[in-house]
Structure 1
């Protein structure tokens, strides 16, 4: 059996490692246009901010490790054409410029995503950078050393984390986003208000509800970001607008959403039985609504890559869907969320109610304690839980992992009230904060 894998970050690495173990007699070849694999892009802000000193720690595998498994690792090889029906791929060696063809019995698509680059006037100027891979992170660090005014465009997780890193380095930082709140896809207003206040206290300028209309510069280098409402000096601009699936090679050959995200079944199989896909190139089943959505997350990717490998010959493993569970640390606040926010639930047409609990996470007789704010979103009629958000100066983010399981298993807010959680004064109170949310909803 010849297995070809296109792309090798999270999903690709997981698929390859598992396939090599499960099918020792298979001929496995991976094609990757970069010279590195398995880079944890979620660590870019930590690397830029100096928290991570050695960037090699952000790689959890290597071409050498895959070679030891008997995998043919074709680094700096770009797949330029694919014929799924003929089971052929055309490849260009980026070092020698040579092109050649290969065949496959099974194909695993793990081509990932690429940053969205909107057609804004001046966007091609020098010092307007992307933040996705290892090379981007090194360029950001190099350019940031000489920059005084840095503008980050996009207030999602990556943009927000970079803003904090730049501010810690003493830069003048502006965060621009067309939405009127940061992290609006993940958190409701009562949570983003707290995070935004933390940024303002640190001297970060928030230009929210503003869309970039053009970039201005001198001698080809950016010097200003112009929005419909204002202008901001910029020696350096980082674009963090979002990501799109990198799937143009397969258009018209397998089923996709309008966004280009590949549609897969619960076994990671595409509309072609011998072609599997995983990671940021795919749509996934979003359990709170039951629909296919594009949710590019490393956690989704490693699960999907693992499952794809296990199902190449026969369907053995099922993908359980996702809640889009995520977490972030903004200065002293530990924040996590899963499923739908109140706002996004209503936008999705769900009739929901919410319950918010504020309490100290452990007994007041302990020498220290911190307040935690938990919000649970649930359907009004069925009382099925569809989302949760948590914020505290104490790291209680693992509670959101619990809520992810709750959503996945379609539990109600009434059942949450009486779930069995341990009590120990070092960690919590007799009524766990999750229990309290269920009790208060009654």
Structure 2
């Protein structure tokens, strides 16, 4: 069996390693247009902030390791065309310009995503940077050494982590986003208001509800970010607006979502039975809404990649779907979420309710008993849990993994109230805070006596 893999980050590496182990006689060729593979982009802010000193730790595989598995890795080779009917592809060697043609029996598309780059005036000015891969991170570190003021455009996870890192490195920092809340895709207002305050308390300037219109510069270098409402002087701009699937090679050749994410079934198969897709290039089944969604997370990517390998010959193991579970640490606060936010659920037309509690996570007689803020979102009629968020100075983020399992198994908020959790004063109260959240959502019990007739 001849297998071609296009792209080798999270999903690609998982697919390749598992395919090589499951099918030792297969001929596997990987095409990667970058000069490195398997970079953990979620570690960029840690690298930029100096928490990670050795970037080698952000790579979990290499062409040499894949070669030991019998895999041929063609680095700095960009696939330029795929003939899905003839099952062949064309690639260009980016060092020599040479073009080669290859054939395949099975094609694995793990081309990932690429930053959204708006057509702003001045976007080509020096010191306007992207933030996605290893080379980007090195450029950001180098360019930021001698600047005073950094502006980050985009208040998602990466943007928030970067402004924190720059502030802790002594830079003046501005964060700009067109939405009216930071992290609005991940958390509800009860959480984002507190996070925003912690950022502004550290001196970070937050500009919300303003759309960037252009960048101004002098002598070829950026000097200001101009929005529809104001102008913000700066020495360096990092664009963190979001990502789009990198799937142009298969446009009109397999079924896709409107944004270009490749649609796959539960076995990672595209509409073409010889082509599989995984990671940021693909859509995924989202359990809270029971619909396909585009959720570019490393966790989704590695699971999908592994499943590609297990289903490459026969549909063996279906994907259980995702809750989009994620977490972030911002200064002292440990934050995590899973499923839909209340705002997102209502925007999608879902009839939901939510319960929010704040309590000490363990008995107050203990030396410390940090507060935990937790919110659980559930469907009004079925009472099925569809989302949750948590924040505390104590690291209680693993509790969100528990809620993820609850959503996965379609449990109700009433069941959450009585799940069996252990009690030990070092760790929790007799009623775990997850139980307490479920109990706060319980409906009243009728007090009328039942009369037998």
Q: Distance in 2 between matches of 1:244 and 1:378?
A: 29
Q: What displacement does 1:8 show? A: 0.1
Q: Distance in 1 between matches of 2:281 and 2:134?
A: 19
Q: What displacement does 1:426 show? A: 1.0
Aligned to 2:160: 160
Residue 367 of structure 2 is aligned to residue 372 of structure 1:
no
Cα deviation 1:388-428 (Å, max 9, x = unaligned): 00000000000001101111111000010111111111111
Q: Distance in 2 between matches of 1:221 and 1:49?
A: 23
Q: Distance in 1 between matches of 2:365 and 2:62?
A: 50
Cα deviation 1:242-300 (Å, max 9, x = unaligned): 00000001001111011000000000000001100000000101111111111000000
* Matched ranges for 1:2-401 at <5 A: 2-401=2-401
Aligned to 2:419: 419
In structure 2, the residue corresponding to 1:237 is in which secondary structure? strand
Q: Distance in 1 between matches of 2:300 and 2:177?
A: 26
Q: Distance in 2 between matches of 1:312 and 1:122?
A: 46
In structure 1, the residue corresponding to 2:152 is in which secondary structure? strand
Q: What displacement does 1:96 show? A: 1.6
Number of residue equivalences: 442
Q: What displacement does 1:228 show? A: 1.2
Q: Distance in 1 between matches of 2:369 and 2:439?
A: 22
Q: Distance in 2 between matches of 1:141 and 1:341?
A: 34
Q: Distance in 1 between matches of 2:177 and 2:135?
A: 25
Cα deviation 1:114-160 (Å, max 9, x = unaligned): 00001111111110000000000000000000111110000000000
Which 4+ residue blocks in structure 1 deviate beyond 2 angstroms?
none
Q: What displacement does 1:25 show? A: 0.4
Q: Distance in 2 between matches of 1:260 and 1:428?
A: 45
Aligned to 2:450: none
Q: What displacement does 1:107 show? A: 0.3
Deviates more, 1:92-101 or 1:177-186: 92-101
Q: What displacement does 1:75 show? A: 0.7
Q: Distance in 1 between matches of 2:362 and 2:240?
A: 38
Cα deviation 1:62-114 (Å, max 9, x = unaligned): 11100000000111111011011110000111122110100000000000000
Q: What displacement does 1:311 show? A: 0.6
Query: Which has the higher Rg, Structure 1 or Structure 2?
Result: 2
Q: Distance in 2 between matches of 1:430 and 1:63?
A: 51
TM-score, normalised relative to structure 1: 0.99
Q: What displacement does 1:209 show? A: 0.7
